[in-house]
Amino acid sequence: MVTTLSKTKDNVINTPGGIIHVRPYRSSSNAQLKAVLSFTPRVSSLDRTNERSQNDQFRGFFVLFWFGLALLFLRTSMQSWEENRTPLSWTFGRLITGDALVLAISDLVMVLAMFFCVPFVKGLQYRWYKYSWTGLIIQHTFQTVYLGTAVWWGWHRQWYWVQSGFLVLHALSSMMKMHSYMAHNGMLATVYFQLQEEKRQLDEVITHIDGGREQLLAEAAERKAQLEAMEGPTPVGTPGPGTPALTSRTSFSAPSGTSSGYEDPASILKKQLGGFTDIGGANGNTPTITAIKERTPEPSSLGGLGPSAEIRQRTSTAAKKKKKNQATDSLPDPRPNLPLGTSLEPSHGTLPHERAPPSPLAWSSNEQVALLARNIDAMQEELISNGGTGLVWPQNVTYRHFLDFMFFPTLVYQLEYPRTKTMRPLVVLEKVVATLGTFSLIYTITEHYIMPMIPKPGDSLFKSFINLALPMMVNYLLIIFECVCTGFAELSYFADREFYQDWWNSTTWDEFSRKWNKPVYTFLLRHVYASTISGFRLSRSSAAFVTFFVSALCHELVMAVVTKKIRPYLFLMQMAQLPMIALGKLPAVKKNKTVGNIVFWMGLMSGFPLL
């Protein structure tokens, strides 16, 4: 369902815990909306600390799955011992450990090269060059050379597919991290220097006014006092003049004295809106938000949250009718085409910083002075992180901060993330053991059930599918990246552990693409989908095509490196998801989720053997 938000007023949602003000995120270049990406303290679907999965009626089947794989591992090891006097065959092992020292050194050099990002951003900070266009050219040239070197080095060393594939995959993920870091800091640098320009213009205007700054401040203070005197007492439950109300981001007004049973308004908002899949108007005039749920509650249904919510709703409506808060309402809106920075960082699930009060000059009767003061206020907010720390750019431009980002299991950069208070060594140990155990299972299945079944000349397609479908699917289900990501998250105090959602329940391929790999999905959403909408003014359907096209090219690159051949099979199979997504939207499939899930699993199980 598509929900259209007002351009001029906040969308107010009353909850038992307070009032939530929701406003869309706008691009500086046009009226399009930016992608909403929320980092929230949460756990993955199958994590043992996830209360929902632990209370699921089918949780025993998950335990049975691991018991079955353990028995398969023991049976295979016993069979290998009887035949070869080794618990595991070392044929595959000799291939993947070849040239291991050179691979380790190459990977270390590649990681160290990522620190180029810091002097790049420092160059923006000291204004050695501007982000547009000089910075963009430097950024993309470096990224191209970085990825091209990884591809060439694997081919030059004539590595087996495991070594070459690992290096290129790591290079791709590192390139995405660097792109997000440099692009986001480039935007912040643009805001920073526009802020300095607005301050310079304000000082220049003030010098041409009789009485100077002192006279303007006195006149503005008198005007503000007159407007405040016209206001009556603020009704209970309505935001007062000092209540934070973000103009270009999401803010939550939580009550004081919160009890342990208090439900975070952000959680209520998430339940009501179901999260955002993408944001961006179909044209430059009507901003829209597309929700994940099929049905988003209408505003009239949001009042049924309890008596306190209804009282707040009535008093808030009454306050609007009486036109309260005239002092703040009289302030001019900042210039609409100001560059954006941390408006791209929603404060969902984190404690947002308190907004600074408006500049005293914002109440000046001189329209030019008031507008410049409001522009300065808006851009100063754009440089502050959406979190309790309130980190201000360029305080983040340090090697230590970048090193922290390298350890964070995310591909999308922002100034501040939700963090845990402690690091649990036992959890790290658990994930290390889980990683080794999962890798042992993958090794066993590959060595004994995939490599011997690789198609030979003369084998039929049907026979190859029957031999390979099940073992390849089991390897796919062993989500080893969840163990690795969770381990790094624990080491780096990173609180958002939702690296995937219940993708196994997908009924359409677009749902699978959102849920399977959340770090990659969030990167594509912000830096490909939303960027093409705002930068190139593409429609949402065209931006979706470009996003799938870029993703398919990256998959095909890995396939070409692994096989040392250019055969666009994987590329075509990736792009085939677009018509399959269209088929999933047909009423016959959309109404019957079981049919949709069957079609999804048939396609997923067929993909690997066919490839």
In the numeric block, the tokens 């398919």 are attached to 552
Candidates 156, 401, 527, 555; catalytic one: 555
Q: Are 2 and 289 in contact (CB under 8 A)?
A: yes
Instruction: Report the Cα 552 to chain-centroid distance in Å.
Output: 20
Q: Name 251's bridge partners.
A: 21
Kindly provide the residue ranges of all beta strands, DSSP E only, lying in 367-468, ordered along the sequence: none
Separation of alpha carbons 455 and 287, rounded Å: 52
Q: List all residues 6 or more positions away from 525 whose beta carbon is below 8 Å from its beta carbon.
A: 35, 37, 278, 547
Pairing mode, if any, of strands 288-291 and 2-4? antiparallel
Q: How far is CA 532 from CA 86, 181, 203, 209, 334, in A?
A: 55, 18, 37, 44, 25
For residue 311, report the phi and psi dihedrals to the nearest 5 degrees. -65, -45
Separation of alpha carbons 82 and 84, rounded Å: 6
74-110 burial string, b = 16+ CB within 10 Å, else e?
Answer: eebbeebeeeeeeebbeebeeeeeeeeeebeebbeeb
Q: How far is CA 43 from CA 7, 123, 418, in A?
A: 35, 38, 13
Extract the tokens encoding 195: 């802020």
Q: Name 494's bridge partners.
A: 419
Q: Is 555 a catalytic residue?
A: yes
Query: What is the distance in angstroms between the CA of the first residue and the CA of the last residue of the chain?
Result: 36
By annotation, the residues acting in catalysis are: 555
